[in-house]
Amino acid sequence: MESPKVTVRDEAGSVCVVSCSGEFDQDSVGLLQAACDRETAGCELLVVDVRDVSFADSSFLNTLIRLRHTRRLSLAGPLPDQLYRLLELTGALPLFEVREGGRIG
C-alpha cells in the first residue's frame, strides 16, 4: 500500500490547492478531510490535485462530494484511470470540473 499524503498551498486569488498522492480508503481519507477543514476555510476555489492518487474508494469519492457542497471545487488532472472509472461508474463524473494538465488558473 502506498501511504497517502496530502499537502495544501495557497494560490493567488483565494484559490487553495490540495495535492493528494497515494492510496485513499476509509482508513486514510480523513487526512484529506482534516487538511481541507483546517487549511482551506477561506478559499473561494478549492482545487484537489488527484494526479498522483494511485487508489481511491467510495469514501474518497464521498469526501470530494461533501467538499463540493461546501465550496466551489475543481479536480486537477489528468484523472488516474482507477479514479476516472470510479467517477464514471458511480455517475459522479459530471459533478466535477476537471482541469487537465493541472492548470489552476
Instruction: Give the CATH number of the domain where residue 39 resides.
Output: 3.30.750.24
Convert the pLDDT of each residue in 14-35 to its tens digit: 899 999 999 999 999 999 999 9
Residue 50 is part of which domain span? 5-102
Rounded mean pLDDT of 7-11?
A: 89
Residue with the bigger pLDDT between 2 and 7: it is 7
What per-residue confidence (pLDDT) applies to 103? 47
57: nearest Cα among 94, 82, 31, 20: 82
53, three cell numbers = 492518487
Q: Indicate the number of domains in the chain.
A: 1
For residue 98, pLDDT over 50 is answered with yes
71: nearest Cα among 39, 104, 42: 42
Contact 67, 48 (CB under 8 A): yes
Rounded mean pLDDT of 92-99?
A: 95
Convert the pLDDT of each residue in 84-95 to its tens digit: 999 999 999 999
Cα-Cα-Cα-Cα torsion 48, 10, 28, 62, nearest 10 degrees, comes to -40
Average predicted confidence (pLDDT) for the chain: 92
Between helix 58-70 and helix 30-39 the angle, nearest 10°, is: 20
